[in-house]
Structure formats: C-alpha cells, structure tokens
Amino acid sequence: MTWIGALSQLIQLAVAVLLAPLLLGWVNQCRAWLQNKRAPSLAQPYRMIRKLFLKEPVIAHNASPIFRLTPYIVFGAMALAAAIVPSLATDLPFATAADAIALVGIFALARIFIALAAMDIGTAFGSLGARREMLIGFLAEPALLMVFFTASLISQSTSLVTIVETLAHREFVIYPSLAFAGIAFTMVSLAENARVPVDNPATHLELTMIHEAMILEYSGRHLALIEWASSLKLFNYSCLGLALFFPWGIVEGAHDVVGLLWAIPVLVGKLALGGFLLALIETMSAKLRIFRAPEFLGTAFLLGVLGMLVHQLLGA
Amino acid sequence: MEFLAEQPWMGLFTNLPANLSLGLVVAAVSAWLAIGAVGASFPENLTLVRRLFPIGALVGLGLAIVGITAIHGPTQATVLPLGLPDLPFHLRLDALSAFFLVLLGAATAGISVFAAGYFRAGQGTAPGLLCLQYHVFLASMAMVLLADDAYLFMVSWETMALSSFFLVTTEHRIGEIRRAGFLYLLIAHVGAIAILLCFGVLQGGTGDYSFDGMRTAKLQGFWPTAGFFLALFGFGAKAGMLPLHVWLPEAHPAAPSPVSALMSGVMLKTAIYGLLRVSFDLLQVEVWWWGVAALGLGLFTALYGVIFATVQTDMKRLLAYSSIENIGLILAGFGLALVFRAFQMPQLAALALAATLYHCLNHAMFKSLLFLATGSVLHATRERSLGKLGGLIHRMPWVAWLALIGTLAIAGVPPLNGFVSEWLLLQAFLFTSELPQGFINMLIPIAAASLALTAALAGYTIVKFYGVIFLGQAREPALAQAHDAGVRERIGLVWLALWCVLLGLFPVVVLDLLDPVNEMLVGRGLGATTRDWLFLAPIDANRASFSPLITLAGIAVTVLGTIFLVHRLYHHRLRRGPPWDCGFPLQTPRMQDSAEGFGQPIRQIFEVFFRITRTLPTPFDKAPRYAVKVEDQLWYGLYLPMTKAVEFFTWLVGFLQQGRISVYLAYSFFTLLALLLFVR
C-alpha cells in the first residue's frame, strides 16, 4: 500500500460520507418538484443532522448497551462499505480486503444490529419494525447476491475491482444477463433503502412503516447517526449500481490523483441523474401492502437467478 | 522383550516415536473411560462428578493438540489385541481422522467445563452414571474416528448411539422425553443397518472387513452406487438429512444442554466423517451424479431446516432445526466436492472440501455455544418456550454477550467464523461454470440461489432467537429472579466464543491445517494459494480475496472513530426516560412480538411446507384463545403411514399368534404334513 493509495482511499471515504446527505436532499428535492410541491433546501439533511447532534438523546430505562452501540456500528458499517464500493477509483487498498460477498455481509451486519436494537426496548412498534425489516432483508440479500454473482460470472471474479474493470472495458458488448441483473438491482435498492414502493421514508403511519418503526426510540446523536447512515446506504447502493452498470469514468488504479479529482464531478453528475430517476420511480409508483413486498422482492430474486441462467445459456 | 515385539499390538509401544500421536489418542480415550468408571463408582456423589468433568475437558484439550500435530504427521496405524479372533481392532490415525479429533477435542473442552457447572442433583439419572455415559459417549466418538475396520467402527458407532440415547433420556421420568429418546434410538438403528449393509457391499465379496481391504476391493457395476447411497442414507440418518431429520427436533430439546451441544456440535460431524471416509477414501470409484444427488439433498435439507427453524417457539427446537440447516450446507459442499473430483478438477474439489470441513468446525463451535447458552437460560428461568422469556441481557449479561458472538457467527456476518465458510462455499459454487457438463452448469445458479436464500433466512431465525430471549422486556414476572451463569459455565462459553472469533479471523491458518486432509482425499491441497497469511485467496487473488483482520480493523476504526468524533465534537449527555413508542401510553411486555409473531411472515410465505393447525377466536368469545401449531408435513406424509404399515403387518403376524395350545399344535401338524409331502 502506498501513501497515494491510502490518500485516494481517504478521499473516496470522505467524499462518500460528506456527499451522502446531499444526495438525499437532491432526491427529496426532485420528488417535491415532480409532485408539484415546494422543495426543501438541498442542505436540509445536513441541517437536520446537525440539529440532532446538538440535542440531548433520551433513551428508555431498559435500553441495553446494544441499543446505544447500534448507531455507531451501523454508521461504521456503512462507512466501511463506502470505502469498499469502487465509486471513484478501482484499485484502492481496501478493495482486496473485502469482495462483493463480504460487502453483502457488511450490509447484513448493519441490518442485524439495527433489528436487534429495535427489539431491545421491547415496544410493540420496535419488534414490528424488526420483523418487517428482516422480512425484507431475507429476500433482498440473496437477490443482491444474485446480481453480484451474475456480474462475477462475467468477470470471473467476485472482487469488485475486477468486476468494474472488466465491465468498463467492454463498452460495446451488451450483456443480456446484466439487463436482468440491473432490474433486480434496482428493485433491491428500492427495498433496502426503504423507498416507495416497499416502504415510505416520509411517513410515520404505523401500519405501513418498516424502517421508521425500528428507529422510533432513537433521538439526539443516535438518531443523527442512523439518519446519516441511511443516507450513506443510499449513496453506497447508488454507487454500486453505477459501478456495475455504468462503470465509465471511474479511475483505474489508485495512483492517479488528478484523475481521482476529475472522477468526483463525473460521479456527482451520474448521481444527480440517478437521484432524479429514483425520485421519478418513487413518484410514479404507489406503496405496496406489506405482504406484496415479498412478491416484489421475490420477483427481484428470480430476475437475479434468471440473469445467471441467461449468462450460462448464452455465455454473456 | 523379543516376544513382545512380535505381537502386532505392541507396535503401539515399541514403535512409540512413530506411533506417538496414535498412542496419545488411545491414552486420551482410556482416560475418558477411566473418568467415567470413577464417576460410576460413586453414583450419587455430585461434588466428585463436578471435579471429574474439568479433567475430561483437559483430556479433550490434549486430544485437540495431539490432533493438530497429527494432521501434518504421517499416517499411523496399529492393531489392538481385542475384537474377533480373525478380525482384531484396527486403528488408524490419518489427516482426516486427526482433523475430526481436533474438532471433537476442542468442542469437548468447552462443553465439559460448562457441564461441570451445569448438572444438578435432580429427578433424572444419578450424576455418577451421567458422568459414565457422557465420557463413554466421548470415547466412542473418538473410536469411531480411529476405527480402521468395519467391526470396530460399528461397535463404536453403536456405543455412541446407545450412550447418547441414555444421555438424551436423562430426565427419563417424563414421558415425552422417553418418546423422544425412542424416536432417536429407532432412527439411529435404521441408519446403522444401512451402514452395516454399506460395509457389506464395500468388502466386495472378499470377506475382508478391514478398511484396507475395502480400499483395494474392486467393485463392479451397480455395487459402488449401492454402497454410496447406503452410506448416504445411513450417515444421513445420523446427521439429520431429509427425510431422516425428525429425531433432531425431538431429541435435542429432550437432552440436557451440554448433551445437546455435544450431539449437535460433534456427533453430527462423526456422520459427516463417515460419509467422507466412505465416499472419498474407501470407494475408489468416482461418479459425478452421486455428487449432484448429495448436493440436491443437502440444499433441500438446508432450506427445509431453516424454514422450520424460523417458526419454532421452543429455543432448543429452533437450534435443532438450525442444525439440520447447517448439515444441509455441509452436505451441499460435500456433493460439490464429489462433482469436482469426478470431473478431475482437484483444486476446485479441494476448495469445496475445505469449505465443507471448515463449516463442520465452525458449526461445532457456534452451535455448541448457543446450545450451552440455552442451557444457562433454562437453568436460570426453567423455561424453554421463547414466549415466556425476554430481556435477559439485563439479568444474565455474560451469557447474553457471549451468545451474541454465537448469534453473529451463525448469521454469517464478517469477520466471524460463519462468514468464512459460507464465503468459501459460495466461491466454490461460482467456479462451477468451468464444469464440462452443461446440465450441471444450469443447475448451479439455482443451487447458489437457494444457498443464498438459506443463509439470509438463517439471519432471520437467529435475530428472532436472540431478540426474543435476551432483548426487550421480560415477558414473565418470574424472570426478574434469573441469575447469570456460574464461573465454570462462563469459562466453557468463553472458550467456544473464542474459537468463533479466532476461526473467523485467521482462516489462512485453518486452511493450512486443512490442506493435508484435502491432499489425502482429493489428491491436491489449496497449498500455494494460502501463502499470504493476511489474505484469504483460495484460488487466485484476482478472482477473490478476503481479509477478515482488515475488515475487523475497518469496522473497529470506523466505529471507534465515530464514537470519538461524535463525543468530541458535540457532547455526551444522555437522559433516560420511559420508551416513546409513538406516544402510546399503555405498554405491557405482552405487546412485544412473540416467537409466533416474529415467525408469522415466514409461516405465511412458506405455507406449503407446514402443516398448520389454528385455533382462532371469534369476536364473541368471552375469553378469546388463539393457538397455532406448526408441524412437519413429512411426519404426516411419510412417518405416520409407515407406522400404520408396520402396525398392519404386526397385526397380520399377531393373527397367527392365537395364544391357544391347540392352534400351535395344529401349526406343527400342518408343517409336518407339508414337509412330509415335500420329502416324500
């Protein structure tokens, strides 16, 4: 590992952590425009996080240390994931330490802890949220793995670096298997980030909420970290999607600092477009009943499997 | 002295340097038997028994150390002067048995220390007898691993089954437990018959029942396949393969927790050992579709097991079903290794086999840990039903935090051990696209998908397990009296948790240990690919690499950094208050999800797998009652018809037995008549 490698790694991590709330603000703004509403400022998520950090957290009498530790673990896991996902450059020092499967494992770590924390207080809503989150998770996680498997069958590697480099060098080849994987990935991302049609981030309506039900008991800095981690998760998934399906503009090798600085505006541009599309999907679809969510995710899972099958059949 | 040297069994002592490890293992087995005998001489002396168990644990530790040195050592064999006149006991210690001895020794060391604090004087078997049964169980498992002929193998196998049967029925005054024990004994023997027949097939008409004879026997035509499937059936019955899994969810809850841990963590692995021994070592034939059959059965077992685990309401039944799931994963890896070997791809076979063995070791550690944790909970609360537990992290912090390690390990999250074997197994699946058979290549995506689904469902299950037992509010007032585990129990738990962490953090070291086993079974190890101790890269670093230590460092740095920064930049004030819960004023512990509630989505999605009986209240009920019972379809579809058939045939036989002397005389008369007619 060279110091330039470490520097690029740090730049990527810092960009991810700092830009993540901005992406969320942008999606909210687009959504408000599309729905003929007045949009909040782009900086609104930052203001909210700052406000929450300054407030005093109140936790229940019977909260265990797991409850207090979870926001940090979830945020840490998402930051780690941001270091692994090749969003700006491919050959970062961290990339060899964890591959696509490990990335799914790190997401699972965050999910398990947040579900455990939701059950920790012992309220009706908390365990309801935990149950629903695990319900979404047990279908979304294998579907995500299927997407990675399709990509890794093409590139003969589960390392995200090799996957992205392989896909970036074959611009003019169209992979039918990747089309299936792309749709599956979009559906999984919607579910995992608690977006419409699976969950609604803007509601506290008890019958429908999933993610919000789990974090009801959090306040102050804990809530700030969880909110920040959620926006970081959205950022990670967006970067993953871009890296897998639109890998152009990502710097190859970690020794090109100028290239790295150029990659930032490219990424921002791609994210802006992606965020707009996300807002479009959210505006044009209605929230599903909770028991339609497994069908939705089951479809994503099947599409992922189909992607692998198509790859085996056509060899592409 | 010269006379002694002529006796083959004296080789054990005269060739001491060469056979040192084997001699030490035999000594360990004898030590266990001696401990058992001492315990049995004072059946009612609980204090003595509590001192004996830690000695047994030390023996286990020694066994593990000997095993580790023996894995890299040469194969050692000897003949004992016991057994049949023309078939004395053959012993052999090679890499495969040494690996499973390590598993046995390391898991036992923790479980025995725990058991020293666990057993109480009670209604069941006297403590001294329990000590005998327990140590005979351990010794017989070690002998199964050492046996080098069919006779010794079967004797040890049966001793293992019988001693564990007695351990399962420790609380033999309870009818339910006797029934569970009977079911276990029955299926163990159905399996043993298949294994016996398998050895009969393998000796290939030579009449030589030593394993060496079987290795050289030339089986023709249909016989190797018959031998393989008899072994799969027989060992599968012991391992909990579908559809022979029904005994596990009955026997595990019935047994005392250390015994459940031993059975689930170690005994199931002896079945895997037998399967590996027969199909990779004794059978010299390689047929690819055996592997496909094992793979399919394994994946279906895994999925079936985990789906049932999610809906269980008894914590030990839940873990038992989870064991079925893990055995399914192990069988899937085993099948994949067979497929690769049959297609002459030794490196990939080594990868699949390493994943299988690694998962055996991991499962031994985290499942024992969790079973022991349920034992502590059971002692503290006298409650096995998840619906009556909750909030125990406040009352039993030691058990809760150590169980959290087991929970994360079994859920397969990095950087703990469950993730590593899952990762290896998935890697093995991803390389299957190199197989020459197009048909299998098409099956692989489906196999990988069900593997991923199983792993994710295991996460669901274990969140339910941990969350309902240890988190939330106590569902019963009596739980306020729950106490934490004693010192010996804690030591046992810490030992197993330590293994969960270390096996996760240093996979390269473990794979190095596994390599001689790979070389022995598939002719090639992963070898050169494990040169960098920090990075796990089984085939090639470009294809896949993973470093648990760096991942752990990453998690630690980000988490601690966040804590530090947040506390430094802002403040660390904190206030405690009543829970918010959207402002609902009336909160009782009964409003939390029960175990049924948490499993309800799975019950609905996978309804076809279950046989569900519901009692639903009507709106007009004065005292509404809700009950739901989830049962195994296979029990009704397969086992009950089978018992009916057996009952019918016994009834037919009973028809002959009229119980009157005149009838029997008539039988004799007619038989005589018929015979006279024939010999006329």
The three state secondary structure string of B38-72 is: HHHHCCCCHHHHHHHHHHHHHHHHHHHHHHHHHHH
Max Cα–Cα distance, chain B, nearest Å = 110
pLDDT tens string B74-115: 888 888 888 777 788 889 999 999 999 999 999 999 999 999
Residue A250 and residue A89 in contact, taking contact as beta carbons nearer than 8 Å = yes
- B434 vs chain A: nearest CA distance in angstroms? 10
How would residue A253 be classed by pLDDT, with cut points 50, 70 and 90?
Answer: low
**B578 — phi, psi (to 5°)?**
-70, 155
How would residue B531 be classed by pLDDT, with cut points 50, 70 and 90?
Answer: low
pLDDT tens string B490-523: 999 999 999 999 999 998 888 888 888 888 888 8
Residue B611 has pLDDT above 70, yes or no: yes
**Measured between alpha carbons, how far is B610 from B308 in angstroms, rounded to an integer?**
8
Q: Considering only A251-255, B428-432, B560-564, which range has the smallest mean pLDDT?
A: A251-255
Residues of A in contact with B303 (CB under 8 A): none
Residue B367 and residue B411 in contact, taking contact as beta carbons nearer than 8 Å = no
How would residue B1 be classed by pLDDT, with cut points 50, 70 and 90?
Answer: very low
**Measured between alpha carbons, how far is A201 from A208 in angstroms, rounded to an integer?**
10
Q: Do B592 and A127 lie within an 8 Å CB cutoff? A: yes
Residue A10 has pLDDT above 90, yes or no: no
How would residue B570 be classed by pLDDT, with cut points 50, 70 and 90?
Answer: confident
State the DSSP H helix or E strand holding residue B87, giving kind and residue range, or none if neither.
strand B87-93
Q: Do B591 and A124 lie within an 8 Å CB cutoff? A: yes
Tell me whether residue B338 is exposed, middle or buried, using C-beta atoms within 10 angstroms of its C-beta: 0 to 12, 13 to 18, 19 or more: buried
Q: Considering only B68-72, B339-343, B536-540, which range has the smallest mean pLDDT?
A: B536-540
Q: Do A106 and B446 lie within an 8 Å CB cutoff? A: no
The three state secondary structure string of A183-216 is: HHHHHHHHHHCCCCCCCCCCCCCCCCCCHHHHCC
**Measured between alpha carbons, how far is A57 from A36 in angstroms, rounded to an integer?**
35
- Kindly identify which residue of chain A lies nearest to residue B468, measuring between CA atoms: A119
Q: What number of CA atoms fall less than 13 Å from residue A137's CA on the CB side? A: 29
Q: What number of CA atoms fall less than 13 Å from residue B455's CA on the CB side? A: 33
**Measured between alpha carbons, how far is B478 from B382 in angstroms, rounded to an integer?**
10
pLDDT tens string B22-67: 889 999 999 999 999 999 998 888 888 889 999 999 999 999 999 9
| C-alpha dihedral, B501 to B503 to B504 to B505, nearest 10° | 80
CB < 8 Å from A in window 421-480 of B = 423, 426-427, 430, 433, 441-442, 444-446, 448-449, 452-453, 455-457, 459-460, 463-464, 466-468, 471-473
- From residue B669, give the alpha-carbon distance in Å to each of B315, B657, B658, B660, B672: 61, 16, 16, 15, 5
Residues of A in contact with B598 (CB under 8 A): 127, 130-131
| C-alpha dihedral, B621 to B627 to B633 to B638, nearest 10° | -90
Residue A242 in tokens: 């871009």
Whose CA is closest to B377, among B302, B445, B230, B475?
Answer: B475
pLDDT tens string B345-369: 888 899 999 999 999 999 999 999 9
Residue B397 in tokens: 């912090």
ipTM at complex level: 0.94
- Kindly identify which residue of chain B lies nearest to residue A301, measuring between CA atoms: B449
Higher pLDDT residue, B584 or B324? B324
Residues of A in contact with B430 (CB under 8 A): 149, 152-153, 158
**Measured between alpha carbons, how far is B535 from B541 in angstroms, rounded to an integer?**
8
pLDDT reported for residue A125: 87
pLDDT reported for residue B631: 86
**Rg of chain A in Å (alpha carbons):** 19
- B491 vs chain A: nearest CA distance in angstroms? 22
Residues of A in contact with B476 (CB under 8 A): none
Beta-strand pair B575-577/A58-60? parallel
**Measured between alpha carbons, how far is B672 from B414 in angstroms, rounded to an integer?**
76
**B77 — phi, psi (to 5°)?**
-140, 150
**Measured between alpha carbons, how far is B57 from B116 in angstroms, rounded to an integer?**
9
Residue B2 has pLDDT above 60, yes or no: no
Residue A109 and residue A270 in contact, taking contact as beta carbons nearer than 8 Å = no
Which residues are CB-neighbours of B506 under 8 A, at least 6 positions away?
B533, B548, B549
Q: Does B100 touch chain A (CB under 8 A)?
A: no
pLDDT reported for residue B5: 42
pLDDT tens string A182-212: 999 999 999 999 888 888 877 766 667 888 8
Q: What number of CA atoms fall less than 13 Å from residue B149's CA on the CB side? A: 20
Reduced to 3 states, what is the DSSP secondary structure of residue B632?
Answer: strand
Residue A139 in tokens: 């279908």
pLDDT tens string A39-80: 889 999 999 999 999 999 999 998 999 999 999 999 999 999
Whose CA is closest to B336, among B264, B440, B204, B247?
Answer: B440
Residues of B in contact with A72 (CB under 8 A): 559, 562-563, 566
- Kindly identify which residue of chain A lies nearest to residue B389, measuring between CA atoms: A122
**Measured between alpha carbons, how far is A212 from A23 in angstroms, rounded to an integer?**
19
**Measured between alpha carbons, how far is A267 from A249 in angstroms, rounded to an integer?**
8
Residues of A in contact with B562 (CB under 8 A): 72, 75-76, 79, 225
What's the rounded mean pLDDT across residues A294-316?
Answer: 87
Reduced to 3 states, what is the DSSP secondary structure of residue B91?
Answer: strand
Reduced to 3 states, what is the DSSP secondary structure of residue B286?
Answer: coil
pLDDT reported for residue B3: 41
Residue B318 in tokens: 């839940």
- CA B25 to chain CA centroid, Å, is 22
What's the rounded mean pLDDT across residues B188-214?
Answer: 90
**B84 — phi, psi (to 5°)?**
-75, 155
Residues of A in contact with B544 (CB under 8 A): 99, 101, 157-159
Residue A127 has pLDDT above 80, yes or no: yes
| Type of residue found at B614 | R
Q: Considering only A19-33, B156-170, B426-440, B489-503, which range has the smallest mean pLDDT?
A: B426-440
β-sheet bridge partners, residue B90: B79
Whose CA is closest to B249, among B130, B427, B384?
Answer: B384
DSSP character for B284? -
What's the rounded mean pLDDT across residues B151-163?
Answer: 94
Q: Which residue in A56, A99, A119 is closest to B545 by CB distance?
A: A99
Best residue of A91, A109, A141 to probe chain B, by most B CBs closer than 10 Å: A109
Percent of chain B residues past pLDDT 90, beyond the cut: 50
Higher pLDDT residue, B515 or B537? B515
What's the rounded mean pLDDT across residues B562-574?
Answer: 88
Reduced to 3 states, what is the DSSP secondary structure of residue B454?
Answer: helix
What's the rounded mean pLDDT across residues A150-158?
Answer: 86
Highest mean pLDDT among A165-179, B195-209, B222-236: B222-236
Q: Does B574 touch chain A (CB under 8 A)?
A: yes
Q: Considering only A219-233, B513-527, B638-652, which range has the smallest mean pLDDT?
A: B513-527
pLDDT reported for residue B433: 65
**Measured between alpha carbons, how far is B135 from B132 in angstroms, rounded to an integer?**
5
Beta-strand pair A58-60/B627-632? unpaired
pLDDT tens string B315-326: 999 999 999 999
pLDDT tens string B252-282: 999 999 999 999 999 999 999 999 999 998 8
Q: Which residue in A64, A142, A162 is closest to B456 by CB distance?
A: A142
Q: Which residue in A59, A62, A305 is closest to B473 by CB distance?
A: A62
**Rg of chain B in Å (alpha carbons):** 27
Residue B111 and residue B104 in contact, taking contact as beta carbons nearer than 8 Å = no
For tokens 């599968």, the residue is B236
Alpha helices (H) in B203-243, listed in sequence order: 211-216, 223-239
Which residues are CB-neighbours of B403 under 8 A, at least 6 positions away?
B369, B370, B373, B466, B469, B470, B493
**Measured between alpha carbons, how far is B129 from B166 in angstroms, rounded to an integer?**
10
For tokens 């010999």, the residue is B679
- Kindly identify which residue of chain B lies nearest to residue A112, measuring between CA atoms: B463
Residue B574 in tokens: 């904190």
Q: Considering only A185-189, A227-231, A261-265, B80-84, which range has the smallest mean pLDDT?
A: B80-84
Tell me whether residue B123 is exposed, middle or buried, using C-beta atoms within 10 angstroms of its C-beta: 0 to 12, 13 to 18, 19 or more: exposed
- A201 vs chain B: nearest CA distance in angstroms? 16
- B653 vs chain A: nearest CA distance in angstroms? 52
Residue B161 has pLDDT above 90, yes or no: yes
